[in-house]
Amino acid sequence: MNPVAQFPYVYFLGIGGIGMSALARWFRANGHHVWGYDKTRTPLTEALSQEGILIHYDDAPEHLPAEVRDNKDQTLVVLTPAIPKDHQEWAWLRENGYDIRKRSQVLGLLTAGRRTVAVAGTHGKTTTSSMVAHLLHHAGLPAGAFLGGISVNLGSNLLLPPSAEQLATDNPGLTTAEVPIVVEADEYDRSFLTLHPDVAIVTSTDADHLDIYGDKDALVQSFRDFARQIKPGGTLLLNHTADASVAAAVPPGVRVLRYGLSTEQGPDLHTADVHAHGHTFRFELVAPGLENAHVPGLELPVPGFHNVENMLAAAAAAHLVGLSWEKLPEAVAAYRGVNRRFEFVVTQGEKRAYLDDYAHHPREIEAFLRSVRALYPGKKLRVIFQPHLFSRTRDFAEGFAQSLSLADEVILLPIYPARELPMEGVTSEIIFDKLTSPRKALLSKEQAIQAERYADDEFEVIATVGAGDIDQLVPELKKILRNKWYGAEA
């Protein structure tokens, strides 16, 4: 049954967000009339428009659709935390008594009473949740997913679960409540506390979102609160880097499996014989905590030891909701990643590469750059980085500088503000001053494009990194580097 059937009209404030757009697609696919506002036109909003969702870009109540204005009691308004408090449309909808719910609240509604796999963590959750969804889908198991990125395999951030009618035809005897739904459980603003999963993964509990939490202890407490919401008989998969107190918070009867690359890191779930072979990582899954399973011959075509860890957790979660170990090797080998997660944009054999990555926390950047260094030993590396949020830049300037200094040259762009107003004294320069790379520069996006256009070929590996709108540079940089490396005919 559709849990929001009483709302034939749905209006999204911030429809272009990656999580919001997945919800918008779900509502439209389930017969609702959907509209939205966003501040900026992007490829994602253009895709939604092509799918039949009307979007406008001016904050003006008069632009609200007539159906929304005339049917208050039948309209659900979905709100992203990125909408500023002085937003005029939001104010008008509040003043007129509309049912306004956060994205996380709606996600909680849609997963209530469903078999849920929730992937949480200050980094790694988008990749890991996409892995779980892919493994289930590739194996032909009925499943749904709301993802925080565009899965290359699925071509979307949404995997629609089968309807009751589809189940009756294809999987008789299986109810919609038994079909697993994979969700990215976002810790920002404690959003993930709307979820009650059967299987939970916590990939990391590193300090982040200190504008919301104040300090790391408060952040870790929210992960403990999340762990307390795992359903009786459920399972928590906990990364070895996560705070150990999260394991102690689970309700009685909930199993905890700790995972990592080695036996010491992951006594319940770990790898054996893990090694890189080109861009592919080969390993064996060893799970003393899961039927003492041993699955050899796994080949993950997405580089990075952190992604091997992510796949370990994803494989265990998928197994817990129905994936057989026998089908795992083929499904792992077919995984192609998430857009902007260790994405190879242009390569020239083993000589040169342009990569793009969403990393926006010092730990993520370090993991990404160390993996790039391992793939291209001895190559000169240039990184173009766009800091995300003034508060995060202020809180982690030292960490950003330390991780970025793994590159031979760092180009820093201005801070992407997202939901925040500028903070006095907080600019990209506070990272710049602490960088120890041999070469560094502070440039605008336009200047960065021009610099790459006229740069010599001294740098064999180029990477764009960040979670703001740095992805807008990718098409032009791709064109420039393809022309340099392959000639104008490319």
Whole-angstrom distance, CA of residue 414 vs CA of residue 386:
6
The number of residues in the chain equals 490
Q: Output Rg (C-alpha) for the chain, integer angstroms.
A: 23
Task: Name the token pair of 84.
Answer: 């500023």
Whole-angstrom distance, CA of residue 445 vs CA of residue 386:
9
Q: Evaluate if residue 106 carries a pLDDT over 80.
A: yes
Q: What does the pLDDT read at residue 220?
A: 94
429-442 burial, b if ≥16 CB within 10 A, otherwise e? ebbbeebebeebee
What residues form the annotated binding site for ATP? 121-127
- 299-340, pLDDT tens digit by residue? 999 988 999 999 999 999 999 999 999 999 999 999 999 998
- 387-440, pLDDT tens digit by residue? 999 999 999 999 999 999 999 999 999 999 987 889 999 999 999 999 999 999
Instruction: Give the domains, in start order, of the chain with CATH numbers.
Output: 9-102 (3.40.50.720), 112-333 (3.40.1190.10), 343-486 (3.90.190.20)
Task: Name the token pair of 65.
Answer: 């659709």
Sequence-distant (6+) residues with CB within 8 A of 263 are 270, 286
Backbone phi and psi for residue 383, each to the nearest 5 degrees, phi listed first: -120, 130
Residue 29 CA: distances (Å) to CA of 32, 47, 68, 100, 162: 7, 15, 19, 21, 11
Please state the pTM of the whole predicted model: 0.90
Whole-angstrom distance, CA of residue 24 vs CA of residue 20:
6
Please give the helix or strand (H or E) that residue 185 lies within, else none. strand 181-185
Task: Name the token pair of 251.
Answer: 């309700």
